[in-house]
Each structure stands twice: as structure tokens, then as C-alpha cells.
Copies of this chain bind each other. A is one copy, B any other.
Amino acid sequence: MADGQVTGQEGRRIVGAGIRARLSAGEMAPGQRLVEQELSETFGTTRSAVREALQDLAAEGLVELIPRRGARVRVISVEEAVQITECRAALEGLCARRAAASAGDADRAELRDIGEQMSRAVTEGDLDAYSALNRRLHDTIARASGQEVAENLLDRLNGQTVRFQFRLALRPGRPAQSLPQHLAIIEAVVTGDGAAAEAAARAHLDSVIAELAATPERPEPVGSEVAVP
């Protein structure tokens, strides 16, 4: 990091984006402490910028902020991940229904394209591609629905469960299970069948919930440092 010192406003953005990225990449474990000075050195910003970024992340539920004790990566239990997914089911159901009614031609074309690429990715066993397409599908439907409020809520909820989504996608046989569900959502939205789209979206997320429920609660580290493997 040979950047010159980054000024505050940018610093806040940079630290926020940086932590988000590392969190998604699994480079920061749940429960891990986030020390302000460390972060300010890592990202080449001031402590104030780090502080503000941590506030942002706490507001998004990615970080837990305990007064006088600092910040740590928030631990999300399987139980909470299930609840989050239940909310997603409700909201994505809404989006799918609306998208079926009001998506433009470009959106429908994109959805068809995503469906084809997904099928191919599963055939070829390309998990990374499938995972990326998965996110793109959900995003596209949310955007096509015109429900900006729901889209924002979903963004936030997704941010909290990326870790789980990731683990889930790696299970053998999971893509083969979810592919037909995704295709059913796409089909219903593209053909404009709102009720079917909502039902398909809900069914898909119910399936995710079932998988989550079968996830063992792994003992997350709670000490000041992450347990050594």
C-alpha cells in the first residue's frame, strides 16, 4: 500500500468497501476484532475515517459495535440466517410478482440469458460461475420489479448471509437441486405469471431454508483472536 494518505471522505468509503470485500472473501472471520488503529494503517487512512466506516457497517448489521470495547465482525447464527432467509422469501416473492407484471423487454431477455448460462454452468460443473449467476438473477429480478425499497432491504439482508450462501453452494448436488427452481422463477416472470413467480421464488427460498436448517452450528471463535486451525 504505497498510496499517499487518503483523505477522510474517501477514506470512509475505502475502509467500508475494503472491509466488505474481505468479509465476503472470508478473510475476516465472524467474531474477529476490528481495531481502529490497525485498520487505519492497513488502509492508509485516519482513525476517524475508520470509525465512521465501522458505524456504517454496524448500521448494515455486518459489524457489532460494543461501547468502549470496539468492533467485531458480527456472528450470525444459523437461526438468524434462517430468519433472514424467511424475510428474503417474503420480499423476493413480492419482487418476483411485480417483475412478472412490469419487467421490460430488456429485463426479460436478460433473465432468459441468465437461465441459459445457469444451465450451462451446472452442466459444466462451474460452481463459481453458477454462484455469480445466482446473485445476478436475484438482483435482476429485484431491479426489474421497480420495487426500490424492497431492493434495498434485500441488498442489506444478502450482505449478512453471503457467508452462508457460499457454504451452501459448495454442497454436492445443491446446484442440481436449485437449478430447476431458478428456471421456474425465470419462466414465470418472463411469461408474466405473477402468482406463479411469487410461488416459485418462495419455494426456492424455502428450499434454501431447509438446507440452512440442516447446517450444523459451528462454534464460532469469541476470543480476542481467531482460533488457530
Query: Would you call A83 and B150 a contact (CB within 8 A)?
Result: yes
Residues 15-57 (chain A) with a chain B CB within 8 angstroms: 52, 55-56
Chain A interface: which size bin? 20 to 34
CB pair B94 A90 closer than 8 Å:
yes
Question: Is A113 located at the chain interface by the 8 A CB criterion?
Answer: no
A212-228 interface bits toward B, Cβ cutoff 8 Å, 1 = contact, 0 = none: 00000000000000000
- In the complex, the answer to whether B153 meets A83 with C-beta atoms within 8 Å is no
Contact between A87 and B94 (Cβ–Cβ < 8 Å)? yes
In the bound assembly, the distance between CA atoms of A52 and B56 in angstroms comes to 11
A87 touching B55, Cβ below 8 Å: no
Interface residues of A (CB under 8 A from B): 9, 52, 55-56, 59, 67, 80, 83-84, 86-87, 89-91, 93-94, 147-150, 153, 157
Q: Say which residue of B9, B52, B147 sits within 8 Å of A87 (CB atoms).
A: B147
- Within 8 Å CB of A9, what residues of B? 67
Return chain B residues, CB-CB under 8 Å to A147.
Answer: 83, 86-87
Chain B residue at minimum C-beta to C-beta distance from A156:
B153
Contact B86 A150 (CB under 8 A): yes
Taking CB atoms, residues of chain B closer than 8 Å to A67 are 9
Residue from the list B52, B93, B153 in contact with A153, Cβ < 8 A: B153
Q: Pick the contact of A59 from B59, B80, B84, B86 — CB < 8 Å?
A: B59
For A9, A84, A87, the residue with the greatest tally of chain B CB atoms inside 10 Å of its CB is A87
Chain B residue with Cβ nearest A88:
B149
Q: Which residue of B lies closest to A149 (CB)?
A: B83
Using Cβ atoms and an 8 Å threshold, which residues of chain B touch A149? 80, 83-84, 86-87, 157
- CB-defined contacts of A89 to chain B, threshold 8 Å: 94
A199 and B25 CA atoms in complex are apart in Å by: 40
**Given pairs A9-B67, A90-B90, 7 additional interface contacts (CB within 8 A):** A56-B59, A80-B148, A83-B148, A86-B94, A87-B91, A87-B150, A91-B91
